[in-house]
Amino acid sequence: MTPFGEALRRLRAERGVTQRQMAKAIGVSPAYLSALEHGNRSEPSWEFIQRVIGYFNIIWDEAEELQMLAGLSRPKVTINTSGLTPKATEVVNKLAAVIDRLDLQTLQRIETLIDSDEAFRGAGTVPDGQHRAKDKPPQ
């Protein structure tokens, strides 16, 4: 499940809406909603997110959070480390090798470390869907 899929499922549950009901109302298939919720589809389009926001009548902070979660919900991420340090490539490959075995506490510690680093604040995602590693050699 992706962060967006988890939020979508929570919104439906809070409002007592089935996948079938929501799918019909916003013009997608129930299978598509299910695939989004389970992380079997890539990040949803801006248009789709706007339909969800309108369907649930979400405003302000909650709408921004849903859009942010959608951007963090790509189940297949590519990280390009060409041009970065060998250490950046090493760390990314180690993380890729163990990500499926990390417990929630460890993932939260990694997230806290990333979020606390000024180089990462506001980094977000690159428009082509790739993340940039920020491990640059000291000058």
Scan for tokens 């709408």, then name that residue: 63
The three state secondary structure string of 5-33 is HHHHHHHHHHHCCCHHHHHHHHCCCHHHH
What's the pLDDT at 29? 95
Average pLDDT over the chain, rounded to an integer: 84
Angle between helices 60-71 and 46-56 (to 10 degrees): 150
Sign (positive or negative) of CA dihedral 8, 13, 14, 16: positive
**With a threshold of 0.85, does the pTM exceed it?**
no
Helix (H, G, I), strand (E, B) or coil at 125: coil
Q: Which domains does the chain have, with CATH numbers?
A: 3-71 (1.10.260.40), 79-132 (no CATH)
Report d(CA 92, CA 5) in Å as an integer.
25
Predicted confidence (pLDDT) per residue in 44-71, tens digit: 999 999 999 999 999 899 999 999 899 8
